[in-house]
Amino acid sequence: MDQQNKIDIKNIPVHVEVHQPKSSQGGSYAPRDRIYVRAVKGLHQAIRRYMGFVFMALFMLLPWLQYNGHQAILLDITEQKFNIFALTLWPQDFTILAWIFIIAAYALFFITAFYGRVWCGYLCPQSVWTFIFIWFEEKIQGTRNQRMKLDADAWSAGKFAKKAATHLCWVAFSLLTSLIFVGYFTPVGPLFAEFFTLQASFWAVVSVLFFTLCTYGNAGWMREIMCTHICPYARFQSAMFDKDTFTVTYDEKRGENRGPRSRKDKDYKDKGLGDCIDCNLCVQVCPTGIDIRNGLQYECINCGACIDACDDTMTKMGYPTGLISYTTEHSLNGKPTKVLRPKLLGYLLVLITVCAAFAWTLYSRVPFEMNIIRDRGALFRISNDGLIENTYTLSISNKSQYSVSYRLTVNADIALNWIGPQQVTLEGGETRSVPISLVMEPDATTAKALSIHFSVSQADQQQELLQDSTFFTGN
């Protein structure tokens, strides 16, 4: 066999090492060790805080906005209509909601393929609420070391007061955000007033308390468990990664071998040491408690906290920053990073396509609807005047938020006389049944049935909706 074409065989160890759970007093084991997140400042944390503040402010303020005399965003499930400023969506408009979810999914895929799991670290509600809860801990219980000491100390009045104040703030913030969240589905002003005066409906109270409990449990107690064990995104995100994806990565070639040294030690490389001084700050600031120096791990949420902590240490030591950074595998190996690559362009193309389809769906949407119901008692009847008569009920729905006048007409190959109202005015969201009759002369046609076309249009003729039906002649 040609030695140049020989395939190297890689030996795979068959030994499996079993890691036993840590034992604790009493014979049971803890499912996880508590993570005490250390506060850190830096560029990435400033961006994360500002983005979290902006989107949290939007979340809290949007339900209170008014538009045309009603709540600007109200997803009223009981009435089966979603008001989003001037747009009202009904169950028939499910396609629009489907497009919104598809756009969100492909935008997430595109961002992940380009910059890793930054959604999780910067905008995911679980991460945002967790960082807010940690902020309450820092303000009430102190720094990381102070919180660890407080938990290790025996219970006292001071410890109880700090713990109680922390949980009270957690519950209060959970209740506030839950009320606002439920306020997207029911009028938010009356909800607040009725909830605190004990006049809210049963389901409103149950919904608020349920989301309060979920928020308190997720951000206060579960935290990283949601990211590492429950959230499905952590499991399939690697399918979108490649060697050109920017992720939080430790430069092993530059950092190893790690070890402590003084700032004045300029000959550390001669001792076989790399730039990592093994301060463990990257571990202490990580909200999921991983060591980024162990390589890419699915628990990493790409929040950049370890980057800021490491850059601060490198600056103090007088070393170049970037030992931990957003970089690609190709870049670490000295190869050029391909930003515009088939996978990324494919996600972008699909994203643009679904955005265009969403825009076209909105543009072509007719804000009214008509259903035709024939008289079930008889296909036709002979009137007292000897005319052939067919009876219909036109169900007209105004899907807009405004009062609109509609004009009703019919088109056929022969002349048909219309008996009933030909113009109706409906309030926003109103549906009305309009009974009408069509009549013709007995000798107008020899056909047994005629194809006819009902038309409903706005009085200003901006849009028109056509629907086919049949006129039976009795021949």
- Give the model's confidence band at 286: pLDDT under 50 very low, under 70 low, under 90 confident, else very high: very high
pTM here is: 0.83
- Calculate mean pLDDT across residues 209-217: 97
- Calculate mean pLDDT across residues 48-71: 94
The structure tokens 């020989």 sit at 6
| Closest among 166, 161, 175, 176 to 135, alpha carbons compared | 166
Least confident of 16-25, 317-326, 387-396: 16-25
d(CA 393, CA 458): 19
pLDDT of residue 8: 54
- Give the model's confidence band at 9: pLDDT under 50 very low, under 70 low, under 90 confident, else very high: low
- CATH classification for the domain delimited by 368-472, as one of 1.10.3720.10, 2.60.40.10, 3.40.50.920, 3.40.50.720: 2.60.40.10
Q: Residue 395: phi, psi to the nearest 5? A: -95, 110
Residue 21 has pLDDT above 70, yes or no: no
**pLDDT per residue as tens digits for the range 328-352:** 999 988 899 999 999 999 999 999 9
Q: What's the chain's average pLDDT?
A: 90
Q: Which residue has the higher pLDDT, 39 or 266?
A: 39
Residue 29 has pLDDT above 60, yes or no: no
Using N-to-C axis directions, what is the helix angle for 157-182 and 125-141, rounded to 10°?
150
Residue 16 has pLDDT above 90, yes or no: no
- Calculate mean pLDDT across residues 98-119: 93
pLDDT of residue 14: 46
Q: Could you tell me the residue ranges of all domains in the chain?
A: 29-64+116-334, 368-472
- Give the model's confidence band at 438: pLDDT under 50 very low, under 70 low, under 90 confident, else very high: very high
Using N-to-C axis directions, what is the helix angle for 342-364 and 94-115, rounded to 10°?
160
Q: Which residue has the higher pLDDT, 238 or 128?
A: 128
